[in-house]
Amino acid sequence: MKVMIWLLMLAAIGVLGYVLWAWRKRWRDHQRASEERLATFVAQTRPAAPPPAVVARPAVDRSVPQQKLLLEAAAKAGEAGEPALSIQLYARLLARFPDSAFAAQARSALEAQKQKLAKA
């Protein structure tokens, strides 16, 4: 008799577990359907958005550190009393990067080094 009661209790627990599992699955499906209906409704009521404008980015000049190094090396060579080497470095800077931000500074320093070399 005790065995029969235990079996009935286990069966009742199993049935209760199955009912809860089926109810949860139905509830989850209902929630998904509700979210889909809401998304469809919102998509229908929202006006079509124009495509985002493409913003052109300015070209990034990656040679600026190289230009700066050449300018600094030429300036240090000029300070060290090597006008010929300084002239070569300034000329290399101007030949490689004629339109750089350092071009005006390099040209004026180049002229100063040429005058210095002519005096020597």
**61-112 residue pLDDT tens:** 678 889 999 999 999 999 998 989 999 999 999 999 988 888 999 999 999 9
Asked if 110 and 70 sit in the same domain, the reply is yes
DSSP at 1: -
Give the chain's domain count. 2
Same domain, 81 and 115: yes
C-alpha angle 78-81-87 in degrees, rounded to nearest 5: 40
Q: Check: CB of residue 72 under 8 Å from CB of residue 90.
A: no
Which domain range does residue 73 map to? 64-119
Q: Which two tokens stand for residue 74?
A: 């030429």
58 is a domain residue: no
Is residue 40 domain-shared with residue 68, that is, in the same domain?
Answer: no
Q: pLDDT confidence of 45, banded at 50, 70, 90?
A: confident
Report pTM.
0.50
pLDDT(49) > 70: no
